[in-house]
Amino acid sequence: MQRKGLGLLLGALFLSSNLVSGGERAVPPRQPKVAVLNFEDGSLERWWRWDWRVGQGVADMLVTSLVRTKKFQVVERKQLGKVLAEQGLQQTAFVNPATAVKVGKLMGATHVILGKVTEFSLEVSEINLPLVGRVVISKAHCAIDGRLVEVGTGVIVAAEKGEGSEVRKRLRLNISELEGTEFGSERFERTILGKAVRRACDNLAKKFGQAVGNPDLTKIVGKVVYVDEETEQLLINLGGRFGVKVGDVFEVYREGEVIKDPDTGEVLTVITRTLGRIKVVGVEEKVATCEVVVGELSRMAIRTLDDGTKEYPLVRLKERAPEPEKKQ
């Protein structure tokens, strides 16, 4: 197989990833250093009357949950506002992984976490019980969609959902325990909503901890980082460290127009366009060499946009390589 051009590139990638100034071998951190960015909450039905910034509050609480897993170093959230102010960026939710990666680099993180709060609800119903009378049943629920993104490569290492609920039965609902309570405070965490949010954060943190220790290739999104028209091969930034094997098949696609709700501005979905499929023919630690099996190589090219930035086609696992038959 002709790999002269790719061989030189792989050698350069290996040297650049293993050497630091002075010729010393880089020592990877014992734990990922994670920056938790503000979550989106624009789609939530605002049933509360007081000032709660739910997306920011949930992100703050997630920091504690991540620390408790003992699998992450977590960047202090106070640094986020300072970095954003210095860069002239607004302290809003981050729905674009590229922007999140930029902020993560400025904060010295190896990974960033971004996402959205998809549910933050409090349902109340009443029942009448013999000898007791009216009983108020309250149910709080919180759901978070989160993405763990590797800063150095832009790879989405994990996309997970964290959920938590709390149910209480009382003779009456004391809504005053919520009004005037600071989101994320000790008082808030004792409330029915606080307990639901904490469980959702713990659930998400646990899943991210598992993803870092044992990455699930089916949930990882990578990129085409090099296209060699001469050999008709390309490189993706997913290699052996993510469990990629020779024979694996990936779908190649581009993200297109972002569809937003005309009333709320919430991001509803992103239009994706499939470009084809590629098959892994060689694996290194950080990259894999692939050949096109469906589609045209020219459609999978790396584009240079009008502002000079690069647009890399995205890849996700479609089929795993068949396991070799065991000898009898």
pLDDT for position 68:
93
Q: From CA 249, how far away is CA 319, in angstroms rounded?
A: 5
Phi and psi at residue 292, to the nearest 5°? -75, 130
Token pair recorded at residue 57: 């509050």
Q: From CA 183, how far away is CA 172, in angstroms rounded?
A: 23
End-to-end C-alpha distance for the chain, whole angstroms: 32
Q: From CA 257, how far away is CA 271, in angstroms rounded?
A: 5
DSSP H/E element including 293: strand 288-295
pLDDT digits (tens, 9 = 90+) for 36-57: 998 988 667 787 788 888 998 9
Contact (Cβ atoms closer than 8 angstroms) between residue 311 and residue 302: yes
pTM confidence score: 0.71
| Domains, in order of start, for the chain | 31-213 (3.40.50.10610), 216-319 (2.40.10.410)
Instruction: Name the CA dihedral angle for 310, 311, 317, 321, rounded to a multiple of 10 degrees.
Output: -50
**Angle CA(132)–CA(172)–CA(128) in degrees, nearest 5?**
35
Residue 120 exposure: Cα atoms within 13 Å on the Cβ side: 26
Token pair recorded at residue 61: 């609480």
pLDDT for position 20:
36
Instruction: Name the CA dihedral angle for 216, 141, 74, 316, rounded to a multiple of 10 degrees.
Output: 20
DSSP string, 101-141: HHHHHHTT-SEEEEEEEEEEEEEEEEEEETTTEEEEEEEEE
Question: Which residues of the chain fall below pLDDT 70?
Answer: 1-30, 42-43, 88-96, 128-134, 171-177, 264-267, 326-328
pLDDT for position 208:
94
Q: How many CB atoms lie within 10 A of CB 259?
A: 12
Q: How many CB atoms lie within 10 A of CB 66?
A: 24
pLDDT for position 28:
42
Give Cα separations from 143 to 112, 120, 129, 305, 311 (angstroms). Answer: 19, 7, 31, 36, 32
Nearest to 208 by CA among 159, 273, 261, 257: 159
Average pLDDT of every residue of the chain: 82
